[in-house]
Every structure is written in C-alpha cells, then in structure tokens.
C-alpha cells in the first residue's frame, strides 16, 4: 500500500479541495518554509489510517477543514479513506470507498460517513494481507490479547520531527502508554518470524496451562477433602467411643479402618427409655408437704401460746407468793391489831386516808392463799397438754422428713430418666452424623482421586507438548536472525553517512528488547542514547527505518510500503528557522548525503518502497532533488504557499 493523494475539504463545502499528490515507488519531497503545515501532513495521514484521536493543531486547520481524505493504492485497486473533523477530542466516523485504479478523490458533496474506524482498519488490514489472528500474550503477562492490524503496522511507517531525533525511542508513538509493548509483540510477525500459527499455539498453550491449573486445583481439593473426611471420621470415632458405641478406637486409624469402625458404630442399638409422667405423684407429695407444714405451724403456734400462759401463770403465782408473804406479817400483831386505824399509831395523829383494818388484811391473805392453791392444781394439766402437743409436733416433723425424702427420690429418678433420654439423643445425633459422613464420603471414593491424578497427568503432557512445539518455533531466535539481516544494510549505510561510532562497530542493529538502535563492538554493546549529537540520532533513525522497510519489501511483508519522515535535517539548521535555503553555513554536504541515501534506497527497492520527506531543505543544485519535489511551500509570484490555501483563511 502506497499513498497517492492527500485532500483537505473546506468546512463550508466549497467544491475544490486542497490536494497534495504523491508519486508511488519513489522519493517524494515536500519542502518549504516553517509554519506552512509540513508536519501536519504526517498527522493527517495517521488520522486517515484509523487513529481515533488526531494530534492536529487548533489553527488554522481546525478553523477551516471539515474532512480529511487519503487516496491509497494497492497493486490492482485503490481505496479512499476519509475522516470528518472530530467534533470533540476524537471520533470513530469514517468514509470508505474502494475501486479499481481509476478511483480518485470525491467531490465535497459526496463526503458522508458510511463506516467507522474499526471497519476501516479491518479492510485495510485485509487488503495489506495481515492475517486475521489475535495476539496472545504469554501466560502471566499483565496485558490483554489484541487483534493484529494496520494499527500496529502504521507504527513502522511514520517518524515525526520529535521521534526522528529521539535518542531513546525508535518507532512512532513508542513512548505512549502500551505502545512499546505492542511493537515488541507484533514486530516478529511483521518481520515474518511469527504468524497466526504461533499465536494459535500460544493461545492453546495458555488454555492448556489453565486446564492444568484447574486439574491441579481439583486434585488438591480432593486431597484436602479426604484429609478433612479422615480428621472428621476420627473425631466421630472419639464421640462414638465416649457414648459407648465403640469399645476401643486406635490412636491413628487408617482411612479404611475409620470407615469400618464408623459402620460398626451405626449397628449398635440401645434400649429406648420412654418418658414417665410423675406429675400426679409429685403433686400428691407437694400437697401432703403443704398440709404438714400448716399442721406444724399450728402446733408451733399452740405451743407458743401455752408457753405464754405458763409464763404468765408463773408470774402470777410469784406475785401471789410475794403479796401473801407481805400480808402474813399482820399475824405478828397482838392486841395492837385492834387499834383505831384512823389514827397513826406512832404519833396518834388522825390519818387523811385511814388504813385498812387488820381483819380485812387477814381475809385478803386467806383469799390469796386459796388462789395460790388453786394455781398449783392447774399446772400438772398444763404440763400434760404440752407433752401431748410436743409429741404430735414430733410426729409431723417425722412425716415432713419422709415427705422430703420421697420428693428428693422422685427428683433423682426424674434426673436419671432425663439423663438416659439425653444420652439416647446424643447417641442418635452421633449416629446421624456418622451416617451423613459415610454418605457424603461415598461421593469421593478412592477411585475419584485416581481419576483426578490421571486428568492432571494428561493436562501436564498436553502443556509439555505445546511448549515443545512453541520452543521449536523459537520466535525470539528467528526474530533475531531477521534483525541480523536488516543490520547488514544498517551497518553499511551508517558508515556511508559517517555516523558516530559506526566505523568502529562490528554491527549496527535494532534491539527488540530496547526498541532502539544498538551498536555491537568488541568492547560491548553501545545503545543510541549513549551516542552524542542530534545528527547521529537522526542518521541512525534513518538507516534503521530504511533498512527495515527494504527488508519488508524484499520479503513481501504485510506492512504499508511507504516511509514518511518529518524534518530529517533539523539537526543542521537553527532551532527556529524560517527557510533552510537562507542558511549558508550549514553542513550541506551531510544534508545532501542524507537525501542521496533516501534517493538510492528508493531506487534500490525499484518502486516497491515510497519515501515521503517533509523538510526545510531544498537542494536547488541537484536536479534529482528537484525532480523529487511534490510540493514547494515557499512564496512564489508574491503569493504564500502552504498546506492551507490563503483564500481559505480570508
């Protein structure tokens, strides 16, 4: 695939587009002053080939252009690839036209989106001959699989002015996130060292490794399950032994012995103890105990009352004895007992309250003595009644003791029955767990592990076979061999341009691991970033890409047959230059040598390679250079020439 024409269509729909045409199979030079839009040519080509996000400047292109179109040629057909100006940061819209060699750029009114970027890339990839396959990264790689397409092939065809002078990166967009790895993954395919079969083998290897890991996990799970079953079986054996289902359990029984003992524990039967209703008997005893306690309380109250009577009687008789003793003193009186009791016997004075007569006192004493004799006759009856009550109380207390013993025995019997029932429940629970364990364990017999082991062996053999097949392909060695073929031209052309360290190097080559130019010397490898001067960086970029594309064309690889270079002579002119033709002290001999190499490589490929260069230089003294110019954007007849016509800016 080579480029025939690039067209810019005005946003207002004017019929005449701005067209830049290229010659296929030859050196195309687009020269001119600074700020005329030369560098935008590469970005537009990149955008038309399917890039979603263009890197075009805001002005004046964004203000004027409505559509970009690229006409490309294949050996027997042509394709038109048109993209509308993105309304935002990106767009996926596209217009695709295919036809024979007569297909040309459309009119502005014919531009309409009829496809998208994905379809555009797919059609271009198919036309280029890129085989339909999905690149599978190695197992464990932290990146995703992707479809190989024109998107990766284009990275080998473009070098903008910053990239061609980059000492650390060799390819287009290499420094963007993920691009370097994409180039490393696809360059072996584009060189012919790897293809869909290798990718398919690697995909099958990834699948086989995934199956091997799954088989290993299943086998490990089976082992863990068996170990868990064995440990659980031993625990069940200990429980069965504790409940009396087994007499003796070995300390470390074998798996087969565990199953036999568990089955034995299931055969043990125990007598069933049914529930016994003791509610009525307990109720009777409780009622009896309540009645006895009431009776005991009544007896205690009666005895207490009797004791109070006894105490009061003793107090009364004591008082009677005291008073009687005092009254008996009246018997000591003689005739004095008949004195006048209204007069004090000592002082013979009349008393305010006359004393009682002695006869009355004697009568009272006799009455007290009679009451005291009567109290003495009541005491034996009271004592007999107390003894009767105490005897009756002792009988009640004894009956309470018997009642308590009966209640305790009833409770103990109830506890024994409950314990027996609980034991039956525990035994039933243990036997149920044993039955469940044996049923569950039967789903993973020893034969199951053997089958899983066989599956793992088959998976391992499958992985080993695919790995051997991939090792036989040895993509890395084959890629290195092809890079060595490319290095032959690189070395020759680097010495021709007299690039730094090239004369002393054994070989100038491309390092796939570094994606950069490397010089092999007796004292060791020398990467490009350790070689000074922008002249050398640009020169090595040129020889690397020229040699790479020459190899691709010789071997008919599915990569677009054009190489676009932007400002390859920038190292020889001031940083801010208006027109290189005005610089007289530049190294014009080296500039000429660069362009002569570009011309000779285009001739060497005999029409199979198209080289497009956008540059400030204009070698007016060399007819071949002038014949290679397709656009010269320098003022002519007082009119400014540039990518965007002057009248578009009015």
Residues 112 and 93: their CA atoms lie apart, in Å, by: 9
| Candidate from 129-133, 245-249, 499-503, 606-610 with smallest mean pLDDT | 245-249
Give the residue from 646, 585, 573 showing the smallest Cα distance to 616.
573
Q: What is the pLDDT of residues 195-237, one digit of tens each?
A: 777 666 776 787 888 899 999 998 888 777 666 656 666 777 7
Q: What is the pLDDT of residues 349-406, one digit of tens each?
A: 777 766 556 566 667 666 666 666 666 676 677 778 778 888 888 888 888 888 888 8
Q: Using only C-alpha atoms, what is the Rg of the chain?
A: 61
For the cut 60, the answer to whether the pLDDT of residue 564 exceeds it is yes
Residues 392 and 429: their CA atoms lie apart, in Å, by: 55
List, in sequence order, every residue forming a beta bridge with 31; answer none if it has no partner: 615, 632
| The pLDDT of residue 547 | 98
Q: What is the pLDDT of residues 2-39, one digit of tens each?
A: 999 999 999 998 888 999 999 999 999 999 998 899 99
| The pLDDT of residue 585 | 72
For the cut 80, the answer to whether the pLDDT of residue 561 exceeds it is yes
**Which residues, 6+ apart, have CB-to-CB distance to 489 below 8 Å?**
543, 546, 547, 550, 551
CB contact at 8 A, 116 and 140: no
Higher pLDDT, 139 or 332: 139
Residues 284 and 553: their CA atoms lie apart, in Å, by: 116
Angle between helices 255-267 and 358-441 (to 10 degrees): 130
For the cut 60, the answer to whether the pLDDT of residue 334 exceeds it is no
Confidence of residue 444 (pLDDT cuts 50, 70, 90): very low
* DSSP tag of 69: E
Stretch 488-499: mean pLDDT, rounded?
97
| The pLDDT of residue 333 | 47
Overall residue count recorded for the chain in this entry: 650
Stretch 310-335: mean pLDDT, rounded?
62
| The pLDDT of residue 94 | 95
In three-state secondary structure terms, 27 is: strand
DSSP string, 236-266: HHHHHHHTTS-S---SS--HHHHHHHHHHHH
Residues 90 and 92: their CA atoms lie apart, in Å, by: 7
Residues 128 and 80: their CA atoms lie apart, in Å, by: 15
In three-state secondary structure terms, 130 is: coil
Give the residue from 639, 636, 611 showing the smallest Cα distance to 625.
611
List, in sequence order, every residue forming a beta bridge with 98; answer none if it has no partner: 79
**Which residues, 6+ apart, have CB-to-CB distance to 193 below 8 Å?**
475, 478, 479, 481, 482
DSSP string, 42-68: HHHHHHHTT-SS----TTTHHHHEEEE
Residue ranges per structural domain of the chain: 201-268+444-459, 279-418
Q: Kind and range of the H or E element at 441?
A: helix 358-441
Stretch 93-106: mean pLDDT, rounded?
96
Residues 400 and 30: their CA atoms lie apart, in Å, by: 129
| The pLDDT of residue 443 | 44
The mean pLDDT value of the chain amounts to: 84
Stretch 248-265: mean pLDDT, rounded?
71
| The pLDDT of residue 441 | 60
CA–centroid distance for 409 within its chain: 66
Stretch 166-192: mean pLDDT, rounded?
94
Residues 122 and 118: their CA atoms lie apart, in Å, by: 6
Residues 378 and 634: their CA atoms lie apart, in Å, by: 161
Residues 261 and 87: their CA atoms lie apart, in Å, by: 80
CB contact at 8 A, 11 and 66: yes
| The pLDDT of residue 418 | 73
CB contact at 8 A, 157 and 70: no
> Of all residues in the chain, what percent carry a pLDDT higher than 90?
44
Whole-number Cα distances in Å, 575 to 375, 567, 571, 579, 635: 150, 12, 8, 11, 21
Q: What is the pLDDT of residues 57-96, one digit of tens each?
A: 767 787 889 999 999 999 999 999 999 988 776 788 999 9
- 295 dihedral zone (left: phi>0; alpha: psi -120 to 50; beta): alpha
| The pLDDT of residue 581 | 77
Confidence of residue 472 (pLDDT cuts 50, 70, 90): low
For the cut 60, the answer to whether the pLDDT of residue 335 exceeds it is no
> Of all residues in the chain, what percent carry a pLDDT higher than 70?
82
Higher pLDDT, 343 or 162: 162
């Amino acid at each position: 695939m080579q480029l025939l024409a690039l067209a810019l269509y005005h946003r207002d729909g004017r019929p005449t587009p701005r067209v830049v045409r290229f010659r296929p199979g030859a050196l195309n030079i687009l020269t001119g002053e600074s700020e005329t839009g030369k560098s935008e040519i590469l970005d537009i080509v990149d955008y038309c080939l399917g890039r979603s996000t263009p890197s075009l400047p805001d002005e004046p292109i964004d203000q004027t252009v409505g559509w970009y179109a690229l006409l490309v040629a294949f050996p027997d057909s042509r394709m038109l690839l048109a993209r509308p100006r993105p309304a935002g940061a990106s767009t996926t819209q596209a217009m695709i036209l295919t036809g024979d060699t007569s297909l040309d750029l459309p009119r502005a009114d014919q531009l309409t989106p009829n496809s998208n970027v994905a379809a555009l890339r797919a059609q271009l990839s198919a036309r280029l001959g890129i085989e339909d396959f999905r690149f599978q990264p190695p197992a464990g790689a932290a990146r995703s699989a992707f479809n190989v397409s024109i998107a990766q092939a284009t990275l080998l065809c473009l070098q903008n002015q910053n990239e061609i002078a980059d000492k650390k990166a060799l390819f287009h967009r290499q420094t963007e996130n993920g691009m370097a790895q994409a180039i490393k993954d696809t360059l072996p395919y584009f060189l012919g060292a790897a293809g869909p079969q290798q990718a398919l083998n690697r995909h099958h290897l990834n699948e086989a490794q995934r199956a091997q890991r799954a088989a290993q996990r299943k086998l490990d799970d089976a082992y863990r399950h068996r170990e868990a079953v064995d440990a659980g079986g031993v625990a069940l054996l200990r429980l069965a032994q504790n409940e009396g289902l087994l007499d003796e359990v070995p300390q470390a029984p074998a798996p087969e012995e565990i199953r036999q003992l568990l089955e034995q524990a299931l055969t043990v039967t125990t007598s069933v103890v049914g529930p016994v209703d003791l509610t009525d008997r307990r109720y009777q005893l409780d009622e009896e105990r309540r009645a006895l306690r009431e009776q005991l309380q009544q007896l205690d109250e009666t005895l207490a009352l009797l004791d109070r009577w006894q105490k009061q009687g003793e107090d009364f008789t004591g008082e009677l004895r005291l008073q009687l003793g005092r009254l008996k003193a009246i018997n000591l009186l003689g005739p004095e007992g008949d004195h006048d009791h209204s007069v004090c016997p000592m002082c013979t004075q009349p008393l305010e309250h006359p004393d009682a007569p002695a006869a009355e006192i004697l009568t009272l004493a006799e009455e007290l003595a009679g009451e005291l004799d009567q109290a003495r006759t009541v005491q034996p009856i009271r004592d007999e009644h107390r003894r009767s009550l105490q005897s009756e109380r002792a009988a009640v207390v004894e009956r309470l003791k018997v009642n308590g013993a009966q209640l305790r025995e009833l409770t103990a019997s109830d506890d024994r029955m409950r314990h027996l029932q609980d034991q039956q429940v525990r035994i039933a629970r243990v036997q149920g767990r044993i039955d469940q364990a044996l049923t569950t364990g039967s789903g993973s017999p020893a034969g199951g592990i053997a089958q899983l082991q066989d599956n793992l062996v088959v998976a391992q053999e499958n992985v080993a076979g695919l790995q051997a097949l991939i090792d036989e392909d040895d993509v890395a060695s084959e890629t290195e061999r092809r890079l060595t073929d490319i290095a032959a031209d690189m070395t020759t052309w680097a010495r021709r341009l007299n690039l730094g360290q090239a004369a002393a190097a054994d070989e100038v080559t491309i390092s796939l691991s570094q994606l950069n130019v490397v010089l092999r010397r007796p004292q060791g490898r020398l990467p490009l970033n350790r070689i000074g001067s922008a002249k050398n960086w640009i020169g090595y970029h040129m020889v690397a890409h020229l040699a790479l594309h020459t190899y691709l064309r010789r071997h008919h690889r599915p990569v677009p047959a054009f190489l676009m270079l932007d400002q390859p002579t920038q190292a020889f002119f001031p940083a801010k230059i208006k027109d290189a033709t005005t610089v007289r002290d530049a190294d014009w001999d080296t500039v000429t040598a660069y362009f002569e190499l570009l011309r000779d490589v285009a001739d060497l490929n005999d029409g199979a390679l198209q080289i497009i260069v956008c540059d400030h230089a204009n070698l007016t003294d060399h007819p071949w250079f002038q014949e290679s110019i397709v656009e010269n954007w320098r003022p002519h007849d007082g009119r400014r020439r540039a990518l965007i016509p002057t009248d578009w800016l009015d």
